[in-house]
Structure 1
Amino acid sequence: WHQGIIRDPASDRYCRWQYTIKPIYGWANTGTPQQSTAGWLSYLPIFEPGWQILMAHGLASGSIDWNGKIYTFTDAPAYSEKNWGRAFPKKWFWLNCNSFNNEPDLALTAGGGRRGVLWWEESAALIGIHYRGKFYEFVPWNSKVSWQIQPWGCWQMQAVNSEYEVELTGTTDLPGTPLRAPTQEGLIFVCRDTMQGQLNLELRSRVGSKSQSILKANSSLCGLEIGGSSWFQPWQESTKMPWVTIT
């Protein structure tokens, strides 16, 4: 059960909420202990920022009062994550969807960024898919993860490991909503997102040089986001740990 209120004393605008959440997926296979989103090293204070997906998919029921306009909902898709540290990455992107056409038991979270690690920086990205009780995790320590992100309008990601491969394409014609995000200079408008993006997803199993489709899905309710600085040109990169080999 969650309830609370926030109010702006300068304008007297407010938001009041009360709702319950039924968790469905965390960040692991159903019935197994939760995994660290950034791996076991995230237990140590070496990444800036820290990131943990708490609930990849859940169902929320209740109401939100936004300045007198009341929104009620039953079994609405819900998502929860936690960020900590001094600031968000210098540059990042994010895709999230747990409301797919004809696929009620499917949730996707993907993203990447230029983050701090002790005294240096690195590019990191991941794709996580929960589907029918199974967690498909594509991270640099078990996969090659690639991305091609436009300054706005198109998000493309691919990942491959010894067992599976996945392709994502998110698009939007909407202008998006500017958001404040934590930086070294404080909360400033360095983020833009929409929760009405178009998404196409395909997950395949790999056997040798052949692949077989496990899932094709699409949605028009995908969260798409970019943030940070230097979004003057497309960002294309890939990442994997040295011990990861793809045949």
Structure 2
Amino acid sequence: MYFIKKLLNPELFQGKYQTKNYFEGWYYKLVTKDEKHSIALIPGIAYDKEGKGHAFIQMIDRLTYRTEYYRFPINAFDFSGNSFDITIGNSNFKQNQLTIDLSKQAYPIEGHLTFNEIESFPKKLLRPGIMGPFSFVPFMECYHGVVTLHQRLSGTLKINQQTIDFTDGYGYIEKDWGRSFPDWWVWLQSNHFSEDKTSLMFSMAKIPWLGNHFTGFLSFLKHQEKLYLFATYTGAKIKRMNYQEGQIDVEITDRNYQLNISGHYDQSGILKAPKNGLMERKIAESISSLIHVTLKDKTGKILFEDDGKNAGLEVVGKPLEDKK
């Protein structure tokens, strides 16, 4: 049954029966081996309240922080009901590869990348994805999924007539779906640390539900084969969250650990985000920020401390005022 299958596999297309006030998008961040070039590609679909829909591919290029929004008719979108396999026009997106063909656009991109050494977000029956039991809660404004914590890249992309070799670079995939992005949120992510296969994500947002709202958050640190998960549903708490003049500082605690994340917001580009299915909201995103991460146990012993580079970072709205 498709409903059960998609619920247990968040990476699959979730919107098979959604044709009004709905969006869904997958976020690919791709970084070259020398870390001099990175790009984010976001394929997706969007339907307004009247049921008028379109498919899209968004792009943000770190070199110039140029962004592009490539729009397609809704019939250019296709998907597999059995696996993560999304097609938009002549482009195809999967968990283990992507093919992009925007060669006839004003800002052309084309090429093929394959992914290996893939580490997916670990699943459990009551935690099919990063949202844990909230995955099963209906009427949420927005759902979030982490597809891969990291993957090794192979292949090239031709971006505006410049061929970029991504071989032995690093990638990351996540996704969102629902009606709208929250009124405010903070999101950061990096999987470029001094030790390979280390990955971190933190997201906090105002979450409306059934006429009320609450502040919820999700975070994980994957290091040396161990996943440290911090979230509203695990009982973890945000002890401190400051954002001022491009500097962010977060402290999260649970019964066993303390996770501190600090970062500096770098240059950004403007992307489109959904509001009631319409891709009309404009947000700023950096994909070149720097973060510092420290994990301690309850005795204060440092279990992990390192700097994360090429970090994705968004601070949208006024989270601090709302949290107070």
Whether TM exceeds 0.5 here: the answer is yes
Give 1:168's aligned residue: 261
CA gap of 1:234–1:141, structure 2 versus 1, over 3 A, is closer
Give 1:129's aligned residue: 221
Question: Could you tell me how far apart the structure 2 residues matched to 1:215 and 1:117 are?
Answer: 36
Q: What's the CA shift for 1:168?
A: 0.3
1:115 aligned to which of 200, 207, 214: 207
Give 2:287's aligned residue: 195
Give 1:211's aligned residue: 300
Q: Which amino acid aligns with 1:156?
A: D
CA contact (8 A) 1:4 1:16 kept: yes
Number of aligned pairs?
226
Question: Could you tell me how far apart the structure 2 residues matched to 1:203 and 1:80 are?
Answer: 24
CA gap of 1:152–1:50, structure 2 versus 1, over 3 A, is farther
CA gap of 1:18–1:118, structure 2 versus 1, over 3 A, is farther
Instruction: Give the alignment's TM-score, normalised by structure 1.
Output: 0.81
Deviations 1:15-42 (A, max 9, x none): 213101125432238xx77742112231
Give 1:27's aligned residue: 121
CA contact (8 A) 2:147 2:175 kept: yes
**For 1:105, what is the secondary structure of its paired residue?**
coil
Say which structure is richer in helix.
2
Question: Could you tell me how far apart the structure 2 residues matched to 1:162 and 1:127 are?
Answer: 15
CA gap of 1:50–1:165, structure 2 versus 1, over 3 A, is same
Question: Could you tell me how far apart the structure 2 residues matched to 1:235 and 1:22 are?
Answer: 43
Deviations 1:37-74 (A, max 9, x none): 11223124332101111112111211112221111111
Instruction: Give the alignment's TM-score, normalised by structure 2.
Output: 0.63
Deviations 1:108-157 (A, max 9, x none): 01111112223322211122011111100011122112452436612221
1:186 aligned to which of 265, 278, 284: 278
**For 1:103, what is the secondary structure of its paired residue?**
coil
**Gaps spanning 5+ residues in structure 1: where?**
239-247
Question: Could you tell me how far apart the structure 1 residues matched to 2:104 and 2:240 are?
Answer: 39
Q: Percent identity?
A: 19
Counterpart check, 1:60 vs 2:153:
yes
Give 2:196's aligned residue: 104
Give 1:3's aligned residue: 99
Question: Could you tell me how far apart the structure 1 residues matched to 2:221 and 2:187 are?
Answer: 14
Q: Which amino acid aligns with 1:106?
A: T
Deviations 1:72-110 (A, max 9, x none): 11121111112111111111111100011x221310011
CA contact (8 A) 1:149 1:235 kept: no
Give 1:138's aligned residue: 230
Which piece of structure 1 moves more, 176-185 or 216-225? 176-185
Counterpart check, 1:14 vs 2:103:
no
Which piece of structure 1 moves more, 142-151 or 193-202? 142-151
CA gap of 1:2–1:219, structure 2 versus 1, over 3 A, is same
**Gaps spanning 5+ residues in structure 2: where?**
1-96
Question: Could you tell me how far apart the structure 1 residues matched to 2:245 and 2:156 are?
Answer: 32
Q: What CA RMSD, in Å, does the superposition of the two structures yield over aligned residues?
A: 2.5
CA contact (8 A) 2:128 2:135 kept: no
**For 1:42, what is the secondary structure of its paired residue?**
helix
Question: Could you tell me how far apart the structure 1 residues matched to 2:147 and 2:116 are?
Answer: 13
Q: Which amino acid aligns with 1:110?
A: F
Question: Could you tell me how far apart the structure 2 residues matched to 1:88 and 1:95 are?
Answer: 15
CA contact (8 A) 1:21 1:59 kept: yes
Say which structure is richer in strand.
1
Question: Could you tell me how far apart the structure 2 residues matched to 1:136 and 1:235 are?
Answer: 29
